[in-house]
Amino acid sequence: MAKRDKTWNWLLLFGSISGLLASSLLAKRGTLVLGEEHLLGWVYGLPESFRLFFLAVTLLGSAWVFAIVLILLLLKERFDIGLRVMIAGLAAYAIAGMAKQLIARPRPGELVSDVLQRELLVWGYGFPSAHTALATALAITLGAYLPKKRKYIIALWIGIVAVSRLYLGVHAPLDIVGGFCIGLLVSTCVLIILPPHKAVRGIRLVKTRKQA
């Protein structure tokens, strides 16, 4: 079982790198490609009444939720998980930031005339989606500790953040793909380098008793 998991992780690593390179090359064109406009228009065209909902769920890919997760793990004394989450989250955010500057792809509002941003405090380049990258990194890293019957939370977390970025008009579909590949890349690296120990309750600070 361990050998199969290791092989699967290496396949995910190779796939995430390939996906990131391919999406970056396409995004470098600076235009919408491969039916992006149609998919963006479909999601963006959902009723305006969904706006508050998506503004709320998009926070699941924000630095605020990242900080809250780390604080909760610290309070629970789950330093082993906290270390993995911190590494994955910071790496995802850093790589996404560097990729934005390298690719310099505009946001949908500059590529499609009838798309307006529904989230106001957003600026800079579009590719890749840092929210999707962070949500993916957090979901997969934390998901390694979930029981099998709750693994669906990983896909739900990533999916709902991805859809929210399209609906809010701040990212195009290819931006989402790039962000997902970054999140998958860093979380897989963490799982390979620091495989989770589910039988261990975590690294706890233990007070030593004074010798009499």
Q: DSSP for 136-169?
A: HHHHHHHHTTS-GGGTHHHHHHHHHHHHHHHHTT
pLDDT tens digits for the chain (212 residues)?
456 678 888 999 999 999 999 999 999 999 999 899 999 999 999 999 999 999 999 999 999 999 999 999 999 999 999 999 999 999 999 999 999 999 999 999 999 888 999 998 888 999 999 999 999 999 999 999 999 899 999 999 999 999 999 999 999 999 999 999 999 999 999 999 998 765 444 444 444 444 43
Give the pLDDT confidence score for residue 198 in this predicted structure.
53
Phi, psi of 18 (to 5 degrees): -65, -45
Query: What is the rounded CA–CA span in Å between residue 212 and residue 210?
Result: 6
Query: What is the rounded CA–CA span in Å between residue 28 and residue 146?
Result: 37
Fold category of 9-193 in CATH? Vanadium-containing Chloroperoxidase; domain 1 (1.20.144)
Query: What is the rounded CA–CA span in Å between residue 105 and residue 41?
Result: 18
Six token digits for residue 10: 């290496």
Is the CB of residue 186 less than 8 Å from the CB of residue 92? yes
Nearest to 118 by CA among 175, 65, 56, 61: 56
Is the CB of residue 161 less than 8 Å from the CB of residue 61? yes
- Confidence (pTM): 0.90
Six token digits for residue 58: 């998009």
pLDDT in tens, 183-198: 999 999 999 999 876 5
- Hunting for tokens 């969904």 — which residue is that? 50
Task: Return the domain boundaries, the chain.
Answer: 9-193
Phi, psi of 34 (to 5 degrees): 50, 45
Helix spans in the chain (H): 2-27, 36-44, 51-57, 63-75, 79-103, 108-111, 130-143, 152-167, 173-193
Nearest to 95 by CA among 188, 193, 195: 188
pLDDT in tens, 158-171: 999 999 999 999 99
Q: Within 10 A of 89 (CB to CB), how many other CB atoms are there?
A: 26
Is the CB of residue 47 less than 8 Å from the CB of residue 55? no
First to last CA, the chain: 48
